[in-house]
Amino acid sequence: MKYPIVMRGYRQPFDEEYFPALRYHATINNMEAMLVMLLSGGYVGFLPEHYARYWVERSELKPVECKSLVYRSRHQWATSISKSAPKAPAFAAFSKVFERFLEPDAR
């Protein structure tokens, strides 16, 4: 590959298992650091589409079209607040927004 690749330290086993042919040149531990390295123009790396969209729309980042390097990850939301406890307005608003993004089979 022409550009050095950045690996996510917190996902290293996953990256190495699913993308074994890639040779990594740097390791980061958060998406913000990944973004800075990618915006420098000197590296290639993985960012979630929703996270990169702002910079892609402004042509500051360019997606690499390679279907073998695409994957989907599931996220879960956990809370210790019981269903019968009164909910703070911020919690209720966040819950409403969050549920719009849940897959139908995950509800």
Give 39-50 pLDDT, tens digit per residue: 999 888 888 888
Map tokens 């019981």 to a residue.
82
Tokens of 43: 């590296």
Burial class (CB in 10 A: 0-12, 13-18, 19+), 56: middle
**Does the model's pTM come out above 0.85?**
no
Q: Answer whether residue 67 shows pLDDT above 90.
A: no
Q: For 57-78, what is the mean pLDDT?
A: 79
HSE-up (13 A, CA, CB side) for residue 89 = 0
Q: Please give the angle made by the CA atoms of 40, 45 and 38, to the nearest 5 degrees.
A: 10
Yes or no: say if 43 and 36 are a contact pair by the CB < 8 Å rule. no
User: Which residues, in sequence order, are bridge partners of residue 36?
Assistant: none
Give 24-42 pLDDT, tens digit per residue: 778 888 889 999 999 999 8
